[in-house]
Structure 1
């Protein structure tokens, strides 16, 4: 059963003086640590991680790619999970939420699915090696909020809907840093949001997971604010070639000296590997330390 939220209700709710999350407290860090660092460059901003399918899928999952072993997850966060409908200027948007839905969230993370996905993908506790369960728990345990919405498309309509969702939850928790993570084709929404002046004001970081590139980003409002960007990419990604993504990472670095951007290459990893393997706490703690 859906709970419906209207933008007009903000006047009645009022704004919150949310406590800013300086750093996220740990959650199963030992299990989700990168299994081995093969190479570092660019002062530690570029990392090559040793990925092994037999170890990191077959050894981690009870049923490969379908159900992770129980020790990787904690289902307590499901008690703070709800299915909502938020009405925005661009229409209603269905969104699953876990954590502090009411005003005062310390930090907000939004995951945008790729082609063929839906809002349930990023809230699934058992797939992708339990990594979605980890980000859910990181938000809940740190007084934050985790959101996984549906949207109309990967173009302007979808961008407008997600921008409205961001505006709503950011208005409730104005001091919270808000991060948008985009899987695969969902990256087109991340880059669209970076071009939206109002959305860019509300975003504190972009997390690109096996996603695409956008050369126009270097002229966007988000870029001008120096919003940090993280790229996680598999070296064998058949959808978005890693050479193109690495070249884009280098373009960002060369366009503005000291721009906060990082790249993790999962050696032998496939298209979905970054969603399974990226260290949410490491990425977000870095972004919390450098975001505007």
Structure 2
């Protein structure tokens, strides 16, 4: 080696520290590895699933009254969002809001598990799905509620079409109760389909009292380590979430709540949302308040595609 070369430095790419010439080979290898890693991460991000549109113009939020960070207030008006949207108010949406051809990939199934027999409706790919969404009904509901094409302004028809059109799977199950037995049954259902679609991101949407199951699933070791997002629609809160496997994994949580919900007061759900933010300012959570909306409003009005695409971008 020529005299002086041992202490001479070689200029690296901008932003990286200089290295002695004797370490040049090591530096080049490390730089190449770093570059390859960045390219791989960028490619992975670019290839992340993003749901394609389905009737976005019809299901877009009518107006945003205010928006502050992760908290949004949406304008809701019964005359416009129920009476004008439905052919028969609260019973049958106008034809332009639905596409019933999705029924071709809809099945009413029975799954026998150690937790019991689970009747459920599956829409889309039961194997090799890229995304799985479950809807858990509230008190007095059944698996049929989550696949009714015409109620709730056609919003269930939209999630069915979004899953079928994006290589996904939508599940609407029956379950025994809103306690440990019901949670065990839903966990078994998730396990079954997760094994058949090992690369799928899994999101659980819970309407009203179904939220009790959302929180119980988050707390279970297996389910809490497997689900990738929770949607609480006109639902309840549970402080035990902060000690759950799902919270530790930073699973995204979406809250949709009517400002005049007589069952679960919006102030309580807002307080719980704020408590999540207080635990971690960067925790992935969003709250949409439907001004003047009541108990069932979030099920009718929540933008499935916008919410799920946000969750896909934040899923652990």
Task: Tell me the TM-score normalised to structure 2 length.
Answer: 0.85
Q: Distance in 1 between matches of 2:139 and 2:48?
A: 32
Gaps of 5+ in 2: 1-46
Aligned partner of 1:239 in structure 2 is: 263
2:49 counterpart of 1:22: yes
2:154 counterpart of 1:127: no
2:274 counterpart of 1:250: yes
Q: Distance in 2 between matches of 1:104 and 1:70?
A: 31
Task: Show structure 1 runs of 4+ deviating over 4 A.
Answer: none
2:85 counterpart of 1:60: yes
Aligned partner of 2:215 in structure 1 is: 191
| Greater RCO, 1 or 2 (C-alpha within 8 Å, sep 6+) | 1
Q: Does the 8 Å contact 1:206/1:228 carry over to 2? A: yes
Which one has the largest radius of gyration? 2
* Pair 1:21–1:122, CA change in 2 (3 A): farther
Tell me the SS of whatever aligns to 2:278. helix
Q: Does the 8 Å contact 2:49/2:130 carry over to 1? A: no
Q: Does the 8 Å contact 1:195/1:221 carry over to 2? A: yes
Tell me the SS of whatever aligns to 1:233. strand
Q: Distance in 1 between matches of 2:287 and 2:249?
A: 20
2:139 counterpart of 1:115: yes
Q: Distance in 1 between matches of 2:53 and 2:149?
A: 18
Gaps of 5+ in 1: 1-19
Q: Distance in 1 between matches of 2:166 and 2:86?
A: 27
2:62 counterpart of 1:35: yes
Q: Does the 8 Å contact 2:144/2:172 carry over to 1? A: yes
Q: Distance in 2 between matches of 1:130 and 1:248?
A: 29
Question: Per-residue displacement from partner, 1:133-170 (whole Å, max 9, x unpaired)?
Answer: 00000000001000000000000000000000000000
Q: Considering only aligned residues, what root-mean-square deviation do their CA atoms show, in Å?
A: 0.8
Q: Distance in 2 between matches of 1:213 and 1:281?
A: 24
Question: Per-residue displacement from partner, 1:52-102 (whole Å, max 9, x unpaired)?
Answer: 00000000000000000000000111000000011122011000011011x
Q: Distance in 2 between matches of 1:125 and 1:277?
A: 14
What is the deviation of 1:200? 1.1
2:95 counterpart of 1:50: no
Q: Distance in 2 between matches of 1:276 and 1:257?
A: 29
Tell me the SS of whatever aligns to 1:55. helix
What is the deviation of 1:216? 1.0
Task: Tell me the TM-score normalised to structure 1 length.
Answer: 0.92
The equivalences for 1:165-180 within 5 A come to 165-180=189-204
Q: Does the 8 Å contact 1:21/1:106 carry over to 2? A: no
Tell me the SS of whatever aligns to 2:286. strand
Aligned partner of 1:269 in structure 2 is: 293
Aligned partner of 1:162 in structure 2 is: 186
What is the deviation of 1:21? 5.6
Q: Does the 8 Å contact 1:39/1:47 carry over to 2? A: yes
Q: Does the 8 Å contact 1:212/1:240 carry over to 2? A: yes
Tell me the SS of whatever aligns to 1:218. helix
Tell me the SS of whatever aligns to 2:225. helix
Q: Does the 8 Å contact 1:179/1:206 carry over to 2? A: yes
What is the deviation of 1:257? 2.4
Q: Distance in 2 between matches of 1:118 and 1:94?
A: 10
Q: Distance in 2 between matches of 1:133 and 1:239?
A: 25
Aligned partner of 2:315 in structure 1 is: 291
Q: Distance in 1 between matches of 2:282 and 2:165?
A: 32
